Amino acid sequence: MRLKIDKTFSQHQLALKLRVEQKVKPGILSWEHRRLLIHAAKTALAAALCWWLALRFGLHDGYWGSISAIIVLQSNVGSTVNASRDRLLGTLIGALLGFSFSMFGALPWNYILAVLAAVLICGLLGLRSSSRLAGVTITIVMLVQATGSHWTIALDRVVQVLLGIVVALAVTTLVLPDRARLRLRDGLAQEFLVLGAFFEAILEGFRGAPAESLPSLRDDALALLRGNNQLLEAARNEPSGGRGWREGLTMVSQFGRSLFDALVALEFSVKDSYEDGYALQLEPALGHLAVDIRTGFHHVASSIHGWRFNIAPQGLNLEQDIVELEARMNAVRHTGIGFSQAEILRAYAVQLHLKQIARLLRASRVETSRAIGEDQE
């Protein structure tokens, strides 16, 4: 007899239509393809606008502004801000060092020392992403043959990069802006749905054959975790989106990582289980907790999607489920002598991991609600 999970509910959960999925309609481009087309158009617009401005104001080598705009303009506002900061700081450091080291010594030694200093300074300042850009700017200032002094070349380089950054930020903010925090919210909701499916696949292997989808669900969950972590870094660079939204998104991301680790531990604990008689004695309390955990994943995903966490799920009390399971564990403890040590240890491990997952789910909703400053209902 295998631990029972409501399959109908599982399929409904995986079919939940998030905002991103609702934008995909038959007969037209998918939302991802539309985003790609929009990004391409915005990049072309920014590059062309930089070139036109450079010609209008008589800037030398005006293509550098277009190059900067192409490099820093990312798929969302937050990533563009982050890339712009890295490029501007790298260019400033490179221009200052390139001009300074060109004033003494001779090539190639002063050039080598300038690049060495740029990498060290950027590293010590925590600007590792800017070190390559600083090196490129030093190379242009010191090695590219052009009319004018090194100071003129350095200043011209900074002005053109600044032009590209300003244009890229204006385009990404004003022309069909794509907010990283909104994409992250949808991504986190999907993450909790996939974690819920991963949870069910793990329990299918408890006293039975493992689910065929288990490895792919684990990989999907891990890919979502990594992608959402990148979006979180980008979202932190965006202007405020409301009260406590940064804290809320960070909180949900942290709970998602903790839940994934707990699920991996649960997967390991049920390995090699088959018809464990000792675990059967924990029914129906063990099954009730498992079903409510599955419901909990769905509810948290819905809360993230609607960005409202202060509404407790009706008929769902994970703490009460835990109390009932602990009572059942105490009631059957005296029967342990009739079962193998492996069965008993496996049952204890499973119930411990289920309790941890249940409490993480509840805390993810309650703590996020507090982080975003919701009034408790």
pLDDT of residue 6: 45
pLDDT of residue 18: 44
CA 133/CA 154 separation, integer angstroms: 13
pLDDT of residue 289: 93
**Which residue bears the tokens 């037209």?**
28
Full-model pTM: 0.78
CA 374/CA 377 separation, integer angstroms: 9
The 8-class DSSP code of residue 338 comes to G
| CATH of region 180-371, choose from 1.20.58, 3.40.50, 3.30.40, 3.30.70 | 1.20.58
For CA atoms 182, 295, 192, 354, the dihedral sign is positive
Here the tokens at position 176 are: 């069909």
Here the tokens at position 159 are: 């002005």
**Within the chain, what is the greatest distance between any pair of CA atoms?**
91
pLDDT of residue 12: 42
pLDDT of residue 19: 43
Residues 6+ apart with CB under 8 A from 18: 186, 189, 190, 305
pLDDT along the chain (377 residues), means of 10: 44 43 46 83 93 85 86 89 90 90 82 93 89 89 71 81 91 88 92 94 77 88 94 83 81 96 92 75 89 94 91 86 90 82 86 94 93 73
CA 42/CA 27 separation, integer angstroms: 24
The 8-class DSSP code of residue 273 comes to -
Residue spans per domain, the chain? 31-174, 180-371
pLDDT of residue 31: 63
pLDDT of residue 372: 87
pLDDT of residue 2: 43
Is the CB of residue 332 less than 8 Å from the CB of residue 281? yes
Closest to 132 (Cα-Cα) out of 140, 7, 12:
140
pLDDT of residue 213: 85
Per-residue burial over 166-197, b if 16 or more Cβ lie within 10 Å, else e, is: bbbbebbeeeeebbbbbbbbbbbbbbbbbbbb
pLDDT of residue 25: 43
- Report the residue count for the chain: 377
pLDDT of residue 102: 85
CA 2/CA 30 separation, integer angstroms: 40
CA 160/CA 249 separation, integer angstroms: 36
- How many other C-beta atoms are found inside a 10 Å radius of the C-beta of residue 266? 21
pLDDT of residue 240: 64
Residues 6+ apart with CB under 8 A from 197: 10, 13, 14, 213, 217
